[in-house]
Chain A
């Protein structure tokens, strides 16, 4: 078993050992009650790469990204950003560190309009004390960003609950973009999207990568994963199975890693 787990790791990471990961985690553990959601997970994200995080339901993917996003601080383990040890204790703190997250549940407020959701929790203000909301800036920045991303939404004054699933997802993805995050995390960003809209989002990921962002994407869609990812990281039962450079692996092997068939080889 020791042998197989070594072969499950890509040689890419040893070759890249000269490059410092932008985000590195060591021996991350997270428990919920008696359940080990994550057990001794080592994780690394390199600059300018798109890393696909894959695994079966309950493998710990969402928990892992929530650790990075500051939603669930880990019970044990260390996190380094650009080589500096950090503790990420809240979503705001994660954003300050340059981590932007698109959650699977989208984290929109259905009763509020598009523009207000775009700036949810970080409304720009006119005064220095952060009290008076700058409504004009909210509208302008929302219009500009949505236009730049070619996202079409009927009106900024529409409450989110009247948007289609695709429009909601586009909004959730779009609002993670304009803040200059170094690390962008997307949990199932194409789950509710049609073919064309999915293509748009994947295109956007490649664009962001070109602009120098490092991206973690969770997806069940292996076609999408092989389309955009540089490296594929597999979790099973809360443990790291392995990580492979895309050109050193194929769909079959990844499926085997996800299901555990690889260990039986």
Chain B
């Protein structure tokens, strides 16, 4: 609740002090700009709630886009290219999960390695060149606006909302969700209670890979080009969105809505800094300060 309040206060401030913030064009631009971060953050949230971390999401996001684009460039249809991108996300997530649950690697190390591997594949497969000339049927996914009442809602935003609802229900109403919370809260207890800890761990990394790939495909469709350098550093934005959203890095706690609001706070902040003419070079420092402040306020309220 504190977080929602912070977001509303930020929005109100920008609404008063700038002419453009509260226009529907700007709002939807902001929403679209964080939609793929938020979608990947839903998967990341499940990983963190399950007691892990996934550093590979930024690179996997880029690689999913690159793979989809290359399939398209080879003459594959949109459906096949999307399936290829999603399949890649699922596969790399599965590899992460197996490395962590079977080979017993710490999540930080396994996914750090995967982060580098996926980025290397991006460069290697494209030889460093962006894949261009994506067909309209594909860019539609990222660029189309759906008319709803008086608004034109970007398709990625609709994906984000639908996926938020699905993942929320999954975490809170299914046994899988219950077991993810249990494994993250206390792995030994979960296993004594008969929960298949290995399976749950593999599941959360697969979901993170899948959600990240969805985000990567939407991002690529929006930009109309698959750059091997895309989504560089996004893993930190994605993890920050979850943590700002109140998802504890110790695992077992937090809600997916938090991750959605966390992602929104970061993007509104970026947008606000631009609109208010804050010097561009100083922006990262301001964003860092606000991340720390937001989490501190949330912690204070919990006490």
**CB–CB B181/A112 < 8 A:** yes
**CB–CB A105/B188 < 8 A:** yes
Which residues on the A side are within 8 Å of B248 (C-beta)?
A: 111
- Chain A, 82-96, CB within 8 A of any chain B CB: 90-92, 95
Q: How far, in whole Å, are A112 and B185 apart by their CA atoms in the complex?
A: 7
User: Given the known A-B contacts A90-B194, A111-B252, A112-B252, are A123 and B189 also in contact in the complex, defined by CB atoms under 8 Å?
Assistant: no
Which residues on the B side are within 8 Å of A91 (C-beta)?
A: 191-194
A8 on the B face (CB < 8 A) = no
B195 CB to nearest chain A CB (Å):
5
How many residue pairs between the two chains, A and B, have CB atoms under 8 Å in the bound complex?
A: 75
**CB–CB B173/A121 < 8 A:** no
**CB–CB B185/A109 < 8 A:** yes
Q: Which of A103, A112, A131, A132 counts the most B-chain CB atoms under 10 A from its CB?
A: A112
B250 CB to nearest chain A CB (Å):
8
**CB–CB B175/A111 < 8 A:** no
**CB–CB B193/A107 < 8 A:** yes
**CB–CB B194/A111 < 8 A:** no
Contact of A108 among B174, B186, B194 (CB under 8 A): B186
Name the CB-closest residue of A to B177: A133
A49 on the B face (CB < 8 A) = no
A120 on the B face (CB < 8 A) = yes
Contact of B189 among A92, A95, A107 (CB under 8 A): A107
B151 on the A face (CB < 8 A) = no
B253 on the A face (CB < 8 A) = yes
**CB–CB B182/A112 < 8 A:** yes
**CB–CB A121/B193 < 8 A:** yes
Name the CB-closest residue of A to B179: A121
A71 on the B face (CB < 8 A) = yes
**CB–CB B188/A123 < 8 A:** no
**CB–CB B175/A133 < 8 A:** yes
Name the CB-closest residue of B to A91: B194
**CB–CB B193/A110 < 8 A:** no
Which residues on the B side are within 8 Å of A106 (C-beta)?
A: 189
B3 on the A face (CB < 8 A) = no
B178 on the A face (CB < 8 A) = yes
A165 on the B face (CB < 8 A) = no
Name the CB-closest residue of A to B187: A109
Name the CB-closest residue of A to B250: A111
Q: How far, in whole Å, are A69 and B192 apart by their CA atoms in the complex?
A: 9
B112 on the A face (CB < 8 A) = no
**CB–CB A122/B178 < 8 A:** no
Interface residue count on the A side (C-beta < 8 Å): 27
User: Given the known A-B contacts A90-B194, A91-B192, are A110 and B174 also in contact in the complex, defined by CB atoms under 8 Å?
Assistant: no
B190 on the A face (CB < 8 A) = yes
User: Given the known A-B contacts A109-B189, A111-B181, A111-B252, are A121 and B174 also in contact in the complex, defined by CB atoms under 8 Å?
Assistant: no
Q: 1/0 contact trace for A59-79 toward B, CB 8 Å?
A: 000000000010100000000
A125 on the B face (CB < 8 A) = yes
B166 CB to nearest chain A CB (Å):
13
Q: 1/0 contact trace for B250-265 toward A, CB 8 Å?
A: 0111000000000000
**CB–CB B194/A110 < 8 A:** no
B225 CB to nearest chain A CB (Å):
40
A91 CB to nearest chain B CB (Å):
4
**CB–CB A109/B192 < 8 A:** no
Contact of A122 among B190, B194, B252 (CB under 8 A): B194
A130 on the B face (CB < 8 A) = yes
Q: Which of B191, B194, B252 counts the most A-chain CB atoms under 10 A from its CB?
A: B194
A116 CB to nearest chain B CB (Å):
7
B197 CB to nearest chain A CB (Å):
10
- Chain B, 107-162, CB within 8 A of any chain A CB: none
Which residues on the B side are within 8 Å of A92 (C-beta)?
A: 194
Q: How far, in whole Å, are A256 and B149 apart by their CA atoms in the complex?
A: 85
User: Given the known A-B contacts A120-B189, A121-B195, are A109 and B182 also in contact in the complex, defined by CB atoms under 8 Å?
Assistant: yes
**CB–CB A103/B252 < 8 A:** no
Contact of A131 among B175, B188, B189 (CB under 8 A): B175
Which residues on the A side are within 8 Å of B181 (C-beta)?
A: 109, 111-112, 116
User: Given the known A-B contacts A91-B193, A91-B194, A116-B178, are A111 and B185 also in contact in the complex, defined by CB atoms under 8 Å?
Assistant: yes
Q: How far, in whole Å, are A15 and B188 apart by their CA atoms in the complex?
A: 42
B20 CB to nearest chain A CB (Å):
42
**CB–CB A125/B252 < 8 A:** no
Ordered nearest first, which 9 A-B pairs have the shortest CB separation? Answer: A121-B193, A111-B252, A111-B185, A92-B194, A109-B185, A107-B192, A120-B193, A107-B189, A121-B194
List 13 additional contacts besides A109-B252, A132-B174; criterion CB under 8 Å.
A101-B192, A105-B189, A107-B193, A108-B189, A109-B181, A110-B252, A120-B195, A121-B190, A121-B194, A131-B174, A131-B175, A133-B177, A133-B178
By a beta-carbon cutoff of 8 Å, the part of chain A in contact with chain B is 69, 71, 90-92, 95, 101, 103, 105-112, 116, 120-123, 125, 130-133, 135
A-B contact pairs, 17 of them (CB 8 A): A69-B192, A91-B194, A92-B194, A105-B192, A107-B189, A107-B193, A108-B186, A108-B189, A109-B186, A109-B252, A110-B185, A110-B186, A111-B184, A111-B186, A111-B248, A116-B178, A120-B189
By a beta-carbon cutoff of 8 Å, the part of chain B in contact with chain A is 173-179, 181-182, 184-186, 188-195, 248, 251-253
